[in-house]
Amino acid sequence: MFEYGDPLRREPQVEGAQVPFSHREIAHVALRILGPEKMWGGELRVEGPTPEGMERLLDWAGQNSGRRLPGYIIDEPDGSVSYHVSRLPRRVTIPVPPEEEFLTAVQAAQDTIRKQGLACSLRIEAMSDKEEFRVILGLEEGYFESRRKDLLQQIDDFTLTSVQEVKDVFLQRLGNPADWGIDLDSATSVSALREILDSVSMSRLHSVKEVLAELSKEFNVTPCTIYSVAPEYTYREPAVRIVAPDTEANLEKLVLLAARFHQARFSLERLHTGEAFNIEILADSDNTAAKFG
- Evaluate whether 219 touches 244 at the Cβ level (below 8 Å): yes
User: Which of the four pLDDT bands, split at 50, 70 and 90, describes residue 214?
Assistant: very high
> Does 150 have pLDDT greater than 70?
yes
The whole-angstrom separation of Cα 39 and Cα 269 is 7
283 phi and psi angles, rounded to 5 deg: -65, -25
Q: What is the longest distance spanned by two Cα atoms in the chain?
A: 64
pLDDT of residue 142: 62
The whole-angstrom separation of Cα 241 and Cα 220 is 8
Give the dihedral sign, CA 97/99/100/101: positive
pLDDT of residue 212: 96
Across the chain, what does the average pLDDT equal? Answer: 88
Amino acid at 40: W
Q: Kindly give the interhelix angle for 163-174 and 190-198, rounded to the nearest 10 degrees.
A: 30
- Evaluate whether 272 touches 255 at the Cβ level (below 8 Å): no
Give the distance from CA 196 to its chain's centroid.
29
Span between the terminal Cα atoms of the chain, in Å: 27
Q: Is 195 exposed, middle or buried (0-12, 13-18, 19+ CB in 10 A)?
A: exposed
What is the Rg, in whole angstroms, of the alpha carbon atoms belonging to the chain? 21
Domain parsing of the chain, residue ranges:
36-140+205-292, 142-198
Model confidence over 107-123: pLDDT tens digits? 999 999 999 999 999 99
Model confidence over 223-252: pLDDT tens digits? 999 999 887 778 888 999 999 999 999 999
Q: Is 253 exposed, middle or buried (0-12, 13-18, 19+ CB in 10 A)?
A: middle
Angle 133-277-244 from CA coordinates, rounded to 5°: 15
Model confidence over 36-73: pLDDT tens digits? 999 999 999 999 899 999 999 999 888 888 888 999 99
